[in-house]
Structure 1
Amino acid sequence: MAGYTKKEKSWMMYDWATSAYSIVITTAIFPIYYKSVAQQAGVSAANSTAFYSYSVSIATFILAMLGPILGAIADYKGMKKKFFIFFFLLGSISTLSLLFVPSDQWLLLLIIYVLTSVGASGANLFYNAFIVDVTKKERMDEISARGFALGYIGSVIPFVISIAIIILSQNGILPFSASVASKIAFFITAVWWISFTIPMLKNVTQIYYVEREPKIIVNSFKRLGQTFHDIRKYRNIFLFLLAYFFYIDGVTTIISMATVYGTDVGLGQTDLILALLAVQIVAAPFALLFGKLANIFGAKVMLYTGIGVYTFITIYAVFLDTVLEFWILAMLVATSQGGIQALSRSYFAQMVPKEKSNEFFGFYNVFGRFAAVSGPFLVGITTQLTGNSSYGVFSLVILFIIGLILLIFVPDTKKGHSPIDVAPPN
């Protein structure tokens, strides 16, 4: 971390803080716990997967609808931090609430999960927008990639502790059930998240903003309307967002559905957990590598690379039916998962006007969130229609192809273009 400012370090540490939620709740332990609870309640594997998909869609739809207006309000002086704190507390406290859900209440479990997801996603909206306040444009790719790398490294610690507790409880070494062990993992996640968010709360402040004025909500809607009126002026930003909508749809769906899919193809809990742990470890250096290579070849070239890898993953998933093949798929995900998300964030940050960063990251959130609505829904519908979750994963290939084609028409920020410079004359 040498060579980075206190603001840059504090901003990057939030990736470390929220990483526990990403791996324990979004990706690994919670989905497995939910599947076991649903199974005990008599819900079929296909239906429990579908209901989980729908809950992901609901959570992301809620914030997608709120994103632009919250972003426009947050552009006012002093508002960005307040919104960040609100959603951070919503997510972390809801995560703690998972401890008190009875082990036979699978539907209530999903409802609380929706609240945790809204909180985590909402906090990330404003966290992402803070990148313009903590570093320079030419450092954004590296800072963003390093943040993701720190997240992967940091996630290993609470994940390993949680896995150890679960395994020891399953083997009778600890005097409680695996269900209780999973709830302890949820507690560890919330404490980790809260503790390592403190540097962000103390050291990161809003530098670029719109001056406060009366009737900020009304005027926020007016500024949103003006942005839409000037959409031709920002056409390249919205072209990028359209490309992002499709390819990040596939990425986030694969992340959120990985363990549920692995369960459906017959993989044991231990194999799933170990594979996900390996992904966190391998993804860290690859996220850094994406950031370094972006400085050489440009972020756009590296985004092409990540999309290409994910396209292959969706095809490969159709033929997956052994532990070894799942490990190969997991390692392929690890090579590009962090890089494609980190560079999408920094690429977009370099395009937007800094004083309107929250508003534009609100749109970034809308496109990302609506993508996260449609992807799991697509997997859920395809899985139910075919009775095979492998075909559900394969259905995502079209999203990566469309995203890649659209991205081709977005100007390369490495060449010094801004979204306004390259817009056609009125």
Structure 2
Amino acid sequence: MKLTKEQWSWVFYDWANSGYGIIVTTAVLPIYFKGVAQANGVTAANATAFWGYANSLGTLLVAILAPFLGALADYPGFKKRLLTGFTTLGMVMTLGLAILPPRQWQWLLVIYVLSVLGYSGGNLFYDSFLTDVSDDRQMDQISSVGYGFGYLGGVLAFILFMILQFTHGFGQLSSTAVARWGFVLAAIWWVIFFVPLLKNVHQRHALSATPAPLRQSWTRVWQTVRHLRQHRGLAWFLVAYFCYIDGVDTIFTMATSIGLDIGITSTTLIMVLLAVQLVAFPCSIFYGWLAQKTSTRTGILLAIVVYLIICVDALHLHTVNDFWLLAILVGTSQGGIQALSRSYFGRLVPKEQSSEFFGFYNILGKFSAVLGPILVGVVTQLTGQSRIGAASLSLLFLAGLAIFLALPKLTADNS
């Protein structure tokens, strides 16, 4: 399928903010913060705790605001305005991480929380624009291309960061100079590739204008919550999504700890991360093609089965090669299950209220990695083996699979 200029512009927003995701959130800021906090008298344990609190606060703020902001974005002209506002907040705060003196580690956390708010809030409106740039027949492929190019953009941004590091001789990854270059690069990458969406993507579905959009948005959110039984298929899909996406996110977030437990070095873990992103690029697009040839339902079911295989195979996780194999398997389906879940949900929601419903979708995405880490932690403590803890995630995938199988097939198009 040939994408239009508007659709490519939408796709490249995922490319744009992936630099923030991999450079700031995953690879650089956690190390940088821990280094500057400990240099200012904070113990290692407290630094880790403060970092966890900051991430939890950012997640909580986004989850609380998401339904209301989504409902507000459904009125004419608000979706682009809110996307631009939150994206700008994320960009400016990312630059703020580079400017702030290292000794002010408390303010570093404050600025990071604001950057998370901008990043996650922008993603809410970006996701809901899927219903504006595509119809139901195109949604699977466009959503998949978005995720695929997001993975590729993150890898290229990180490679560029590594080139800057080594060519300028900044030293180790935890050095102040390297970290600041990383933050600046992530912000510039975000700005450059946000411009096409700003120019070319437009809100096509909206509710009728109202003189009191703020009050009406609150009212609509509560009405939707009270009348969820009118959207039973949508509500049950969200329950299934919560279960299996919890497993997906937990595997990603716990992979580093599990890898360290079997003796994998931090350098190898970074290489594995890059490999997963690279594999996810073509495989995400493949899932879009598969959904087009068969159905969205088939693609999601396949991805859940792949994750069940990953969980079972984790029982045999002993060596670096075993870890590489599981990582590649994750890369084959991580983007696909996210992309097709987004397009499946986009087909279910009323188009003129897509932002409001994607607000609820966003809540479950933010709280998804809650049960999974607890399950892994408890099973690991009981058995003394993290690989058995990882295998226990199969329970979440089985629950998601059972609920998803019970859902009626979509009547729209090929699903």
TM over 0.5: yes
For 2:320 and 2:365, the matched residues in 1 are separated by 31
Counterpart of 1:174, as a letter, is G
The one-letter code matched in structure 2 to 1:86 is G
1:338-358 Cα shifts (integer Å, max 9, x gaps): 101100110110111111111
Pick closer, same or farther for the CA change 1:330–1:70 going to 2, 3 Å.
Answer: same
Residue 44 of structure 2 aligns with an amino acid whose one-letter code is V
Give distance in 2, aligned partners of 1:325 and 1:136.
41
Alignment of 1:245-256 (within 5 A): 245-256=242-253
CA distance in 2, matches of 1:59, 1:394: 29
1:335 and 2:332 matched: yes
Q: Could you report, residue by residue, the CA deviation over 1:236-265 in whole angstroms, capped at 9, with x for unpaired residues?
A: 011111111111122223334444553454
Structure 1 distance, partners of 2:230, 2:241, is 19
2:268 is equivalent to residue 271 of structure 1: yes
Corresponding residue number in structure 2 for 1:152: 151
Distance (whole Å) between structure 2 residues aligned to residue 317 and residue 92 of structure 1: 38
1:130-141 equivalent positions in 2, closer than 5 A: 130-141=129-140
Q: Residue 279 of structure 2 contacts residue 328 of structure 2 at CA under 8 Å; is this kept in 1?
A: yes
Aligned to 2:180: 183
Match of 1:174 in 2: 169
CA distance in structure 1 between the partners assigned to 2:298 and 2:75 by the alignment: 35
Deviation string 1:2-28 (CA, Å, 9 cap, x unpaired) is 822111111111111112122223333
Cα distance in 2, alignment partners of residues 235 and 51 from structure 1:
40
SS of residue paired to 1:213: coil
| Whole-angstrom CA distance in 1 between matches of 2:29 and 2:383 | 26
8 A contact 1:72–1:358 mirrored in 2: yes
Cα pair 1:16 1:153 within 8 Å, conserved: yes
> Structure 1 residues 389, 351: closer, same or farther in 2, change over 3 A?
same
In the TM superposition, residue 124 of structure 1 has moved relative to its aligned partner by: 0.7
Asked whether 1:237 is paired with 2:238, we answer: no
- Give, in whole Å, the separation in 2 of the partners of 1:292 and 1:262: 33
- Unaligned 5+ residue runs, structure 2? none
Offset of residue 149 of structure 1: 1.3
| Code of the aligned partner of 2:271 | L
Q: Tell me the equivalent position of 1:21.
A: 20
Q: Structure 1 residues 297 and 38 mapped into 2: Cα distance closer, same or farther (>3 Å)?
A: farther
CA contact (8 A) 1:314 1:397 kept: yes
1:59 aligns with 2:58: yes
Which whole-Å deviations, capped at 9, do the CAs of 1:363-387 have from their partners, x for residues lacking one? 1112222224554566567778888
How far has the Cα of 1:144 moved from its partner?
Answer: 0.5
Distance of 1:251 and 1:412 partners within structure 2:
23
Aligned to 2:198: 201
SS of 2:278's partner is: helix
For the residues of structure 2 that align with 1:247 and 1:202, how far apart are their CA atoms? 36
Tell me by how many angstroms 1:396 deviates. 3.4
Query: How far apart, CA to CA, are the structure 2 residues paired with 1:355 and 1:336?
Result: 30
Q: 1:393 to 1:49 in 2, by over 3 A?
A: farther
1:294 correspondence with 2:295: no
Q: CA deviation at 1:143?
A: 0.6
C-alpha distance 416-240 of structure 1, shift in aligned 2 (>3 A): same
Report how many aligned residue pairs link the two structures: 411
Partner residue of 1:360?
357
Asked if structure 2 preserves the Cα contact closer than 8 Å seen for 1:137 and 1:350, the reply is yes
| Residue number in structure 1 paired with 2:213 | 216
Letter in 2 for 1:128: D
Are 1:60 and 1:373, in contact at CA under 8 Å, matched by a contact in 2?
no
Residues 110 and 399 of structure 1: CA distance in aligned 2, closer, same or farther (over 3 Å): farther
**What does the per-residue CA deviation read over 1:44-95, in whole Å, with 9 as the maximum and x for residues that have no partner?**
5xx8767655544332222111111111111111111111112212222222
Q: CA deviation at 1:101?
A: 5.3
Percent of aligned pairs with the same amino acid: 46
Which structure 1 residue ranges, 5 or more long, are not aligned? 419-426
Quick check: 1:92 aligned with 2:87? no
Which range moved further: 17-26 or 132-141? 17-26
Greater mean alpha carbon deviation, residues 28-37 or residues 406-415: 28-37
Comparing 47-56 with 185-194, which one deviates more in the overlay? 47-56
Question: TM-score, structure 1 length as denominator?
Answer: 0.86
1:87, 1:120 within 8 Å by CA — same for their partners in 2? yes
Hey, what does 1:122 align to over in structure 2?
Answer: 121
Identify the residue that residue 71 of structure 1 maps to in structure 2: 70
Distance 1:57 1:156, change over 3 A: same
One-letter identity of the residue aligned with 1:80? K
Q: Is 1:43 the equivalent of 2:40?
A: no
**Aligned mates of 1:318, 1:90 — CA distance in 2:** 43
Cα deviation, 1:197-220, whole Å, max 9, x if unaligned, reads: 011111111111112212222212
* Partners of 2:56 and 2:258 in 1: CA distance: 17
Match of 2:203, SS? coil
The residue identity in structure 2 corresponding to 1:182 is A
TM-score, length-scaled by structure 2 = 0.88
Higher mean alpha-carbon deviation, 103-112 vs 337-346, is at 103-112
Q: After TM superposition, list the pairs within 5 Å mapping 1:314-333 onto structure 2.
A: 314-317=311-314, 319-333=316-330
SS at match of 1:371: coil
Partner of 1:421: none
For 1:13 and 1:31, the matched residues in 2 are separated by 26
Deviation at 1:224, TM superposition (A): 2.2
